Structure formats: C-alpha cells, structure tokens
C-alpha cells in the first residue's frame, strides 16, 4: 500500500494561475519535504517541515509556499506559475530529521508532473 501519496499525478495549469499540489502520508513521520526536479536535472530541495516548523531553502523562490495543517498532509502552493516552474514535484518523508543524528531513509511519493501552459 502506498505510504506517501501525491495528488494529482499530472497537473496542467495556466501561466499565472495559482495551483496547489498535495501530499499525504500514512507513516506518521515527523519530517516532510518538497523537491523539484526539472528535466535532466537532479531533484532539488525546496523546503521541509519538521513537525510544524517550516524550513525554507535560501534559493527557493517566493512564488513557492507550503502548508502543513497536520502530521499527515502537506501542500505545495505555487502562487503564479511561470513556464520555468514546469517540473516533477516530489514529496518525501523521514521519521526524524538527519539534523538530529538519525540514520534514516526518505520515503517518496510518485510525484506530480506539473505542466504550465
């Protein structure tokens, strides 16, 4: 059974129209991450939540926001999508943060492929 679920799998949005991607987990993990992978590039961390604490990467554009209303759900909001935001967006979880000295793997969803038209 899928433990990290992303919806939708494919999302087409219009240039400049706000869009929300969702992620849910059944693992009860404390940490949730959002990664962006553009074509032929490495996945890049956008931000993560440790419980309710939000941590933004320094180079994540302001256009990207996130919400975590409870342990199970995390959302990625793109306020005004541009053509350059077309990518695969991966949600991941880990039981505890690596900053706490934990040797734990990350669990990923299948990703949402975002197309901007």
Partner 1 sequence: ILNVEQSPQSLHVQEGDSTNFTCSFPSSNFYALHWYRWETAKSPEALFVMTLNGDEKKKGRISATLNTKEGYSYLYIKGSQPEDSATYLCAFIVSESGGGADGLTFGKGTHLIIQP
Q: Helix, strand, or coil here: 98?
A: helix
CB of 97 to partner 1, least distance (A): 5
Q: Which of 106, 115, 88 is nearest to 25 (CA)?
A: 106
Q: How far apart are CA 20 and CA 13, in angstroms?
A: 10
Query: 15 or 102: whose CB is closer to partner 1?
Result: 102
Closer Cβ to partner 1, 8 or 16, answer by number: 8
Record the tokens describing residue 96, joined without a space.
């505890």
Which token pair is 42? Answer: 């490495």
Binding span for partner 1 by CB under 8 A among 17-25, 43-51, 60-68, 69-77: 43-51
Q: Which residues bind partner 1 (CB under 8 A)?
A: 2, 4, 31, 33, 35, 40-45, 48, 50, 55, 57, 90, 97-111
């Amino acid at each position: 059974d899928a433990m990290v679920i992303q919806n939708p799998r494919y999302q087409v949005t219009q240039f400049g129209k706000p869009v929300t991607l969702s992620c849910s987990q059944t693992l009860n993990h404390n940490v949730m991450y959002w990664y962006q992978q553009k074509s032929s590039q490495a996945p890049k961390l956008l931000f993560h939540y440790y419980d309710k604490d939000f941590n933004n990467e320094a180079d994540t554009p302001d256009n990207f926001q996130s919400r975590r209303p409870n342990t199970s759900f995390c959302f990625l909001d793109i306020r005004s999508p541009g053509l350059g935001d077309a990518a695969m967006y991966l949600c991941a979880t880990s039981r505890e943060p690596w900053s706490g000295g934990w040797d734990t793997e990350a669990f990923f969803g299948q990703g949402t492929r975002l197309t901007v038209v």
